[in-house]
């Protein structure tokens, strides 16, 4: 009658697989040993990518449960360090096996290691090797970091490759442009984390688990300096050798945008009042809130009137001002501003460069999408061939075909969006040129979302008292342009101008 056994196989890294410890090699040796020694294999437990320093391994736990529920004559392993690299764990589990009458056999160590001193000696050697290997790994990672290479897994937008016998991080041709676009979109200030996650997910940018980025994960991505070339590891900072996906200027702009979002609490609102977060009460230095007052009979010319006012407890009568009056007074501030000729010419030069670079970027992004589409179409065509040849069934074909077609449709949508974005760039350039010619008129003709951009470009805050603008606080950008005479101000018509950012 054949004896019964379980076999346990483990590999922790690709390197071990290449060095002869692959699961296939281990299984071949264990099966051959079982056959030659009259064992019938009841079950095989295969563990991939797990360290033997701990017993908390899924397949190892299944083995222990199998030994408890259905004891066998022996458990066969290729080598003791495949089973355990910790003397305490090895001794404890070996004793449990012995109490159940189960022997532990290691092929490399020459047979039964469940009894006597020899098993503990081999386990001690395995534990020592594990500690030495662990220290060597840490030292190698430290040296890799010192040499300017990222020692860990590549973040989204990059991939790990082996080049000249060294593992390095390089931009991923598919996700790198999407990460760059994520930074560009967020820097505009028009996107919350939720909206940006949905937008980029529709374009193919996913977290490592293949799902849409959650708020915290997207925040971590947008605040990771690795993308502009700075590595942080082990409490130190160093400029890496990897290719940056963005500039330091774009990264800093995103951090400023995040700070402003925290200040202005950007979110979807039922009533999105134009001056919310910009106008303040001079008396209490608090932001003015806005609300509609509705009238439900015919005695009034309007069905509703909007008001800005201070929300300080106890009331602040001097802060109440009608919405239209307030927005008109703010719009009139722009009558006092005019860009200088030198700055206007500089903007035109930048626009010319923008057009030149934009055309190149458009062609590059379009080619990436086309290449992705071709690859998926090739996969779809191969799937159709497999159906015709009878290799796959109709259910599998339908499921995979629908998935591939959805991906193709998404890429087609991205192509349309890319074309539309190029047209939008032209409209934006026209808007910028108009702004340099006549700031006030451009502001009046701008849609609400552009008006908010103009307001935040010029003003940190506008202070109100008794329905009058008493003080305006300029942004650092506006202050710099003013000091360099790039913006001409008719100051005698302007309320007190303050570059101090504190109210």
Catalytically annotated residues? 12
Phi/psi at 108 (5° precision): -65, -40
In this structure, the number of other CB atoms found within 10 A of the CB of residue 104 comes to 24
Transcribe 367-410 into DSSP letters: HHHHHHHHHHHHHHHHHHHHHHTTSS-HHHHHHHHHHHHHHHHH
Phi/psi at 328 (5° precision): -70, -45
Helix (H, G, I), strand (E, B) or coil at 467: coil
CB 50, CB 10: distance < 8 Å: yes
Nearest 5°: the CA angle 339, 340, 344 is 75
Nearest partner of 464 among 241, 278, 189, judged by Cα: 278
- DSSP H or E segment with residue 451: helix 448-458
| Nearest-angstrom CA–CA distance, 374 and 415 | 13
Nearest 5°: the CA angle 462, 465, 469 is 40
Nearest partner of 253 among 304, 185, 307, judged by Cα: 185
Helix (H, G, I), strand (E, B) or coil at 177: helix
Beta-ladder partners of 292: 306
Beta-ladder partners of 8: 45, 77
| Pairing of β 3-11 and β 487-489 | unpaired
């Amino acid at each position: 009658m054949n004896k019964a056994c379980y076999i346990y196989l483990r590999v922790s890294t690709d390197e071990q697989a290449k060095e002869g410890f692959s699961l296939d090699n281990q299984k071949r040796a264990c099966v051959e040993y079982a056959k030659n020694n009259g064992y019938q294999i009841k079950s095989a437990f295969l563990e991939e990518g797990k360290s033997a320093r701990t017993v908390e391994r899924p397949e190892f736990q299944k083995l222990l449960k199998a030994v408890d529920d259905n004891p066998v004559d022996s458990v066969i392993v290729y080598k003791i360090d495949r089973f355990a690299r910790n003397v305490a764990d090895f001794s404890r589990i070996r004793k449990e096996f012995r109490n159940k009458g189960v022997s532990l056999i290691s092929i490399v160590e020459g047979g039964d290691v469940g009894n006597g001193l020899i098993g503990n000696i081999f386990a001690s050697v395995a534990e020592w090797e594990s500690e030495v290997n662990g220290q060597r790994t840490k030292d190698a990672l430290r040296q890799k970091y010192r040499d300017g290479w990222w020692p860990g897994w590549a973040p989204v937008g990059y991939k790990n490759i082996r080049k000249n016998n060294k593992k390095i991080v390089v931009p991923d041709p598919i996700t790198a442009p999407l990460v760059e676009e994520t930074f560009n979109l967020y820097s505009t200030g028009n996107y919350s984390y939720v909206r940006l996650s949905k937008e980029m997910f529709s374009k193919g940018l996913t977290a490592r688990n293949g799902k849409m980025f959650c708020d915290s994960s997207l925040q971590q991505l947008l605040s990771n300096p690795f993308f502009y070339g700075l590595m942080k590891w082990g409490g130190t900072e160093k400029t890496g050798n990897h290719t940056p996906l963005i500039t330091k200027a774009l990264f800093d702009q995103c951090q400023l945008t995040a700070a402003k979002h925290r200040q202005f609490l950007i979110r979807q609102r039922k009533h999105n009042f134009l001056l919310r977060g910009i106008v303040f009460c001079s008396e209490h230095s608090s932001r003015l809130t806005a609300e509609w007052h509705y009238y439900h009979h015919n005695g009034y010319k309007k069905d509703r009137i909007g008001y800005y006012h201070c929300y300080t407890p106890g009331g602040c009568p001097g802060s109440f001002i009608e919405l239209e009056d307030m927005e008109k007074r703010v719009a009139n501030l722009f009558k006092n501003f005019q860009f200088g000729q030198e700055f206007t010419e500089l903007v035109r030069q930048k626009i010319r460069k923008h057009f030149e670079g934009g055309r190149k970027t458009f062609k590059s992004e379009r080619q990436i999408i086309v290449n992705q589409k071709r690859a998926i179409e090739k996969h779809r065509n191969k799937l159709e061939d497999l159906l015709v040849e009878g290799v796959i069934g109709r259910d599998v074909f339908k499921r995979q075909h629908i998935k591939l077609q959805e991906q193709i449709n998404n890429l087609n949508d991205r192509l349309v969006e890319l074309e539309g974005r190029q047209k939008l760039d032209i409209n934006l350039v026209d808007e910028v040129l108009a702004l340099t010619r006549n700031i006030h008129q451009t502001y009046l003709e701008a849609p609400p979302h552009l008006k908010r951009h103009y307001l935040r470009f010029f003003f940190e805050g506008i202070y109100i008292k008794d329905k009058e603008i008493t003080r305006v606080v300029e942004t650092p950008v506006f202050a710099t342009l003013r000091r360099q005479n790039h913006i001409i101000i008719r100051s005698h018509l302007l309320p007190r101008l303050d570059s101090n950012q504190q109210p």
